[in-house]
Amino acid sequence: MLETVKPGQIVILNGAPRSGKSSIAAAIQQGFDGPWMNLGVDAYIEAVTPAPYRPGLGLRPGGERPDLEPLVPRFYAALYESIAAHSRLGFDVVVDVAHHDDYSTPLHILPDCARRLAGLPVLFVGVHCPIETIMERRNVGHAGREGRYAVSTAEEPIPAPVLRWQHAVHVPGLYDLEVDTSRLNPAECAARIHAQLERGARHPTAFERLAGMVPFTES
């Protein structure tokens, strides 16, 4: 029988693709004490989700695959239940995600995810990055993910999917902490997160507020 342990801390990094979330997660794993488990979206898509159902919970804003949308809430539910299970077993968890509700019909996934972590310590971090910097990173490329990210062309310097991400990923914009990766490097972002954890949570937290927003109507 497992002994009762204190729930592990959960840090959720939310931002657009190429905003720097994965690098911050790596800095947390390298710099924070104890085993920080990384349960991010990339691993879930690439190692867990069967190829015919990808990108699954990585669907871009704009309703690109309505045929997959019925599965997306369950994919997210499974991911967040796993996050909760790790925390309840005493593991600290860092998660990099790109939440949005710009599907062919609203799915209200984020409030559902928040409810699944009720009673657990969650720091919800908004990872911001100007679109010019994001495009620089996309155009340089990412080893091992060739062809995955839309890049600039003469006809479309900023691809429409990138613009949709920029507009949709931070709605409704409720966070416990926000960082800008064009101004801070991953280690500095991780240091901001560590300092916030040291100060302790203010209630209601972002996830406590989000849990009551079903559905959320943007003003």
Per-residue pLDDT reduced to its tens digit, 90-134 = 999 999 999 999 999 999 999 999 999 999 999 999 999 999 999
Q: How many domains does the chain have?
A: 1
Mean pLDDT of 189-196: 98
Q: Is the pLDDT of residue 215 over 90?
A: no
Pairing of the two strands 122-128 and 10-14: parallel
CATH number at residue 186: 3.40.50.300
What values do phi and psi take at 122, rounded to 5? -125, 130
111 within domain boundaries: yes
Distance CA 1, CA 104 (A): 46
Distance CA 168, CA 100 (A): 6
Distance CA 124, CA 10 (A): 8
Distance CA 29, CA 86 (A): 15
34: left (phi over 0), alpha (psi -120 to 50) or beta: left
- Which uninterrupted H or E stretch holds 110? helix 109-116
Q: pLDDT (tens digit, 9 = 90+) per residue, 28-53?
A: 999 999 999 999 899 999 999 999 99
Kindly report whether the global pTM for this prediction surpasses the value 0.75.
Answer: yes
5 within domain boundaries: no
> Which residue range is the domain that position 46 belongs to?
10-210
> Prior bond to 157 cis, omega within 30?
no
Distance CA 166, CA 13 (A): 15
Measuring CA to CA, which residue among 194, 158, 152, 186 is closest to residue 15?
A: 186
The angle subtended at Cα 123 by Cα 120 and Cα 129, nearest 5°, is: 150
pLDDT at 181 (0 to 100): 98
